[in-house]
Structure 1
Amino acid sequence: MRTLSPRLMLLVLGLLCAGSVGLALLAQHRFDMQPCPWCILQRILFIVLSVLALVGAALPGNLGRRVLSALSLPLALGGIAAALWQHFVAAKTSSCALTFADRVNSYFGLDTRWPEWFEVRANCSDAAVSVLGVPFEFWALALFAVATVVLSISVVTSRRA
């Protein structure tokens, strides 16, 4: 049985992360599922992971790919933590103001540069919605977990492809 090359896995991961942001924007603008600070933080992490995975897939050789994958791992793990925090803590509160996610969003100023993508439009309890019976943040959690596995494989695999 032939396994997928790390380069192909990074390419697919980059496309999945970009696609998840596209789906989040579709949910926001077409189906009125407004994002909270934790949603926006995860959106930012998916964008950065997408860019790093796509660059890693495009790099010749495997050293650059392995380095970018290693640098990306904390982002994927942070995404897991953010999704879990959103579900088990933030969604149970009426305000997300001044949380870690809110501070990160404010620090980068993305909400003022590109409000249609990064502006917080709901508090955490109002943003707690489900898609196909699964909380929205658990879909993100699953993709962050996949990213963690793919990036880990990419770091430890020395195969060229």
Structure 2
Amino acid sequence: MQQRFFLYSAVLCLFSLAFALVSQHIFGLRPCAWCVFQRLILLGIALISLLGYVAMHYKTVWLAFISRLFIMGLAMGGALSAWYQYTVAAKLFSCDMTFADQVMTKSGLESSIPWLFGIYASCMDAAASLLGIDYAVWALLFFIFIGLLNLIALFFKPVK
């Protein structure tokens, strides 16, 4: 059962990333620096989840445990970035030179993979909502959910 929690985290993150890409490329919602930074976090969680899944398959419990801790740390970072995006960055005229902007541009991801990590709007301009709730709040709730899912999995003992 522990192994499934890794798979759930990976699949949920990849679905969330796919939803962001559909929002951008089909519905024309332009992402800001914080949006694409959160995409990077989603990819990180998905990859580490797959590593944890493989570690559990080969009974490498210590690697699975470390993977779980990294996932929870990334989820916390994602939640903090979504909170910052909603409370601070969305009120700024420019995200230029914020932490997310610096990470994405200095890493080269923004220019090398623009369809995934391209920054096309300021945080104020990129504010969008779904069902009356801002995308940043959805992201915040999603990262909290992923963190809690993995916290529960950390202490989950299967019934025999």
What TM-score do you get using the length of structure 2 for normalisation? Answer: 0.91
1:124 matched to 2:120? The reply is no
Q: CA deviation digits over 1:35-55, x for unaligned, max 9?
A: 000001101000110111122
Q: Sequence identity, in percent?
A: 33
Match among 41, 46, 52 for residue 48 of structure 2: 52
Alignment gaps of 5+ in structure 1: none
Q: How does 1:43-122 map to 2 (within 5 A)?
A: 43-59=39-55, 60-61=58-59, 62-122=61-121
Q: CA deviation at 1:158?
A: 6.3
* One-letter amino acid of the counterpart of residue 36, structure 2: I
8 Å Cα contact 1:10/1:150 also seen in 2: no
Q: CA deviation at 1:116?
A: 0.8
CA distance in structure 2 between the aligned counterparts of 1:153 and 1:53, rounded to whole angstroms: 15
8 Å Cα contact 1:86/1:137 also seen in 2: yes
Match among 10, 13, 22 for residue 6 of structure 2: 10
Q: CA deviation at 1:154?
A: 3.3
RMSD: 1.6
Aligned length: 156
8 Å Cα contact 1:17/1:50 also seen in 2: yes
CA distance in structure 2 between the aligned counterparts of 1:106 and 1:158, rounded to whole angstroms: 43
CA distance in structure 2 between the aligned counterparts of 1:115 and 1:89, rounded to whole angstroms: 25
What TM-score do you get using the length of structure 1 for normalisation? Answer: 0.91
What is the aligned partner in structure 1 of residue 17 from structure 2?
Answer: 21
State the secondary structure of the residue aligned to 1:125: helix
Q: CA deviation at 1:157?
A: 4.3
CA distance in structure 1 between the aligned counterparts of 2:85 and 2:68, rounded to whole angstroms: 25
Q: CA deviation digits over 1:3-60, x for unaligned, max 9?
A: xx22111101110101111110110000010000000110100011011112212222
CA distance in structure 2 between the aligned counterparts of 1:106 and 1:156, rounded to whole angstroms: 38
Moved over 4 A (4+): none
